[in-house]
Amino acid sequence: MNAVNIEKGKFYLNRSGGIVGPISETGDSVLPWFGILCGAVRLYRQDGTAAYGPALDLVSEYPVKTGNEPNHQPAAVDPRQCSALSDVLTEAYEDAANGKGHHRHGDATTPFLDQPSMQIGRMVGVGYPIGQAMKKAHEASTRTDRGDYSGAVHELLGVINYAALAILLIREK
């Protein structure tokens, strides 16, 4: 469990380094808090765990600067600047968690970090997911050339997920 105790009006960092906030109450007993991350509403439990997966879990409070501190940096990017990106990344996550990626490569009892793609990557190295991402990018290009735009988007969601897998393998080192 997370050690974060959410408080109304504060900002927090999530596990992926995103800034979430300000935090407000939802009125729901299961997911009583929400915050904004790149223009998208994210729901949270009291301990900071996210409704949409561990990458969005809150890990620490983010100190909002007033502008009077030495070397002041802006607290966050305007969320409207990355809401479209957030939507695509959420779509890629959903594809891996509940779509083709889950049905083809996972099951309900095997955690993501123990599934074959991660195991193979541990055996042969980070080149495995990078190669898979390259193959999917090529497939997206050929689908686009054929006018299969939906299929191209689906392949590119796979590119995102294989890139994320490569990041996870690198971070394990």
Q: What ranges do the domains of the chain cover?
A: 11-79, 83-172
Neighbours of 103 (CB within 10 A): 9
pLDDT tens string 9-26: 888 888 877 888 888 888
The DSSP code sequence of 63-86 is ----S-STT---S---GGGSHHHH
Q: Is the Cβ–Cβ distance between 79 and 41 less than 8 Å?
A: no
Nearest to 167 by CA among 55, 80, 10, 86: 55
Helix ranges restricted to H, 26-126: 83-98, 100-105, 116-124
Question: Which tops the pLDDT comparison, 137 or 52?
Answer: 137
Query: What's the half-sphere exposure (Cβ side, CA atoms, 13 Å) at 163?
Result: 12
- The answer, yes or no, to whether residue 2 has pLDDT greater than 80, is no
pLDDT tens column, 101-147: 556 655 666 777 888 889 999 999 999 999 999 999 999 999 999 99
C-alpha distance from residue 81 to each of 4, 14, 38, 138 (Å) = 27, 18, 7, 29
End-to-end CA distance of the chain: 23
Q: What is the mean pLDDT of residues 67-92?
A: 60
* Over residues 18-47, mean pLDDT: 82
Q: Given a cut of 50, is residue 74 above it in pLDDT?
A: no
Task: Give residue 48's region: left, alpha or beta (phi > 0; psi -120 to 50).
Answer: left
Q: Is the whole model's pTM more than 0.75, yes or no?
A: no
- Per the CB < 8 A criterion, the answer to whether 40 and 94 are in contact is no
Three-class SS of residue 124?
helix
